[in-house]
């Protein structure tokens, strides 16, 4: 056979879809998978693209089937599978070849792998791929980090397969080593928060005012025509309108309320806390997924933990629900970009936040109409570099925060959980306090540990008179 343009290892859901996308753009692929039957199934389903997909029996044959310098994409589970794939490739590669990790790898692993492979004379790109199966097939958002020269040589391929927003490809080189994978991690953290807040609004409609899934579907469909237009709002309307083909019931009502997770939301929270940044909304979303897994405990607790003090007469409007989601989304984006800012400083990535917002406008899961305004905001001189201090978003928050406040209050009075929306409101209220209450915490720390504190009137570190008062 003629030499293939690109190698691909891993043809799971994302790998298969991306293979078809790449083939559709005129490139031939050499493909290997641990389970070769998956390669056969892909080729059989590829239709007129099948001639561009070439099955290889082993890694050595895959490498030998490629034009040089070689480009090999890994779409395998994060962790050991990536290292195993790299180790299998190395004996067969030549200087100047490039490996692309398109999975959800921990960015710290990507930093280590980049350093290792560059020392051996190879190039390594960690590319975050967002958009799920549909995005991978028809155009994902691509967040690239690693060797700049390798990215530039591969940019025509990546540009061709990426989603387009008004003809602007949703792909960018974001920085060295782990930059791309870190941005993808935070993207997923924001995704966790957005999904959780949407679910909380659905819960208020279902359990607070007794709306059916069909009725809630109409609400979200209407939301998708306004400020909240986004992929997640769109699919929420579709999901809630769907019927179970076996029972005829509303589909969402036959699904067990136990949410899975792959780890990226948790990684976002861990790294944020390590860098001294708040990820309270994302953390609440991660915590809600964790608690959802305790299904048996919740079923036992339901009749035992009686929500004393609830008020079933509480009412709220659809406008309040919309406002709550608007504010929650703005604040979730704001937390995410603040985390990116801290990582950019720490790892010297020089991330371009406006460009990140732009490549999220199509292809990815958190694509929304709001991202244009976010990109515009980052191209202005933001106070403290804070997204929520831009003139536009100050106005958005001012107009809508009362609705969020009414929704959180109503949920509390109804005994319904809204952990992410409540976290968003608390974060907002904390930020708007010029003087908070951590002066007391500093006093306590000094009392029991002599940790000292700063005074408002005198420079330097000081201690209180606590122990003198006890004498």
59: Cα separation from own chain's centroid:
32
The answer to whether residue 191 is catalytic is yes
3-state class (DSSP) for residue 3: coil
Instruction: List own/partner pairs for 317-322 with CB under 8 A and 24 or more apart.
Output: 317/403, 318/219, 319/403, 320/403, 320/404, 320/406, 320/407, 320/410, 321/201, 321/204, 321/205, 321/219, 321/403, 321/407, 322/223, 322/226, 322/227, 322/228, 322/403
The answer to whether the CB of 112 falls within 8 A of the CB of 137 is no
Contacts of 272 (CB under 8 A, 6+ apart): 278, 279, 282, 335, 339, 342
Distance from the Cα of residue 131 to its chain's centroid: 11
Main-chain dihedrals φ then ψ at residue 172, nearest 5 degrees: -160, 150
Q: How far out from the chain centre does Cα 73 lie?
A: 21
Compute the distance between CA of residue 79 and CA of residue 20 in angstroms, rounded to an integer: 25
Write down the catalytic residue from 155, 191, 200, 295: 191
**CA-CA distance, 344 to 349, in Å (whole number)?**
5
Q: Do 83 and 89 meet the contact criterion of CB atoms below 8 Å apart?
A: no
Q: Is the separation of the CB atoms in 220 and 230 below 8 Å?
A: no
Q: CB-based contacts of 289: which residues, under 8 Å, 6+ apart?
A: 192, 196, 259, 260, 261, 265
Please identify which of the residues 2, 112, 118, 184 carries the catalytic annotation.
Answer: 184
Judged on CB neighbours under 10 Å (0-12, 13-18, 19+), 26 is exposed
Q: What are phi and psi of 348, to 5 degrees?
A: 55, 45
The secondary structure element, H or E, covering residue 55 is strand 53-55
Residue 31 gets which letter from DSSP?
E
Phi then psi for residue 125, to 5 deg, are -120, 130
Catalytic, 319? Answer no
State the catalytic residues: 184, 191
């Amino acid at each position: 056979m003629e030499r293939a343009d690109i190698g691909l290892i891993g043809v799971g859901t994302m790998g298969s879809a991306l293979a078809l996308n790449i083939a559709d753009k005129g490139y031939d692929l050499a493909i290997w998978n641990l389970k070769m039957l998956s390669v056969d199934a892909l080729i059989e389903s590829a239709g007129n693209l099948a001639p561009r997909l070439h099955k290889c029996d082993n890694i050595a044959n895959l490498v030998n089937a490629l034009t040089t310098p070689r480009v090999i994409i890994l779409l395998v589970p994060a962790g050991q599978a990536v290292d195993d794939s790299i180790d299998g490739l190395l004996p067969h590669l030549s200087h100047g070849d490039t490996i692309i990790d398109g999975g959800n790898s921990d960015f710290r692993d990507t930093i280590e792998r980049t350093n290792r492979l560059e020392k051996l004379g190879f190039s390594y790109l960690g590319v975050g791929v967002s958009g799920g199966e549909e995005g991978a097939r028809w155009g994902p958002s691509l967040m690239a980090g690693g060797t700049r020269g390798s990215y530039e040589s591969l940019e025509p391929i990546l540009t061709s397969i990426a989603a387009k927003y008004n003809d602007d490809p949703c792909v960018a080189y974001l920085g060295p080593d782990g930059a791309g994978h870190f941005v993808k991690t935070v993207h997923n953290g924001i995704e966790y928060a957005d999904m959780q807040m949407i679910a909380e609004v659905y819960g208020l409609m279902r359990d607070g005012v007794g709306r059916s899934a069909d009725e809630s579907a109409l609400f979200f469909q209407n939301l998708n025509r306004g400020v909240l237009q986004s992929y997640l709002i769109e699919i929420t309307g579709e999901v809630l309108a769907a019927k179970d083909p076996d029972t005829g019931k509303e589909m969402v009502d036959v699904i067990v309320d136990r949410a899975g997770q792959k780890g990226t939301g948790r990684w976002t929270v861990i790294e944020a806390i390590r860098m001294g940044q708040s990820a309270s909304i994302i953390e609440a979303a991660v915590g809600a997924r964790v608690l959802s897994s305790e299904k048996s405990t919740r079923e036992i607790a339901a009749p035992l933990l009686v929500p004393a003090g609830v008020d079933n007469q509480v009412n709220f409007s659809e406008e309040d629900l919309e406002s709550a989601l608007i504010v929650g989304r703005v604040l979730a984006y704001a937390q995410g970009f603040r985390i990116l800012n801290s990582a950019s400083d720490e790892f010297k990535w020089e991330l371009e936040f406006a460009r990140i917002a732009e490549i999220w406008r199509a292809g990815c899961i958190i694509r929304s109409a709001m991202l244009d305004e976010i990109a515009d905001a980052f191209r202005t001189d933001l106070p403290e570099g804070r997204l929520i201090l831009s003139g536009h978003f100050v106005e958005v928050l001012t107009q809508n925060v009362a609705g969020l406040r009414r929704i959180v209050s109503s949920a509390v009075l109804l005994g319904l959980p809204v952990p992410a929306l409540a976290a968003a409101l608390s974060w907002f209220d904390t930020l708007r306090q010029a003087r908070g209450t951590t002066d007391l915490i500093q006093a306590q720390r000094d009392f029991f540990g002599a940790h000292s504190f700063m005074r408002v009137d005198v420079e330097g570190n000081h201690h209180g008179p606590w122990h003198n008062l006890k004498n």
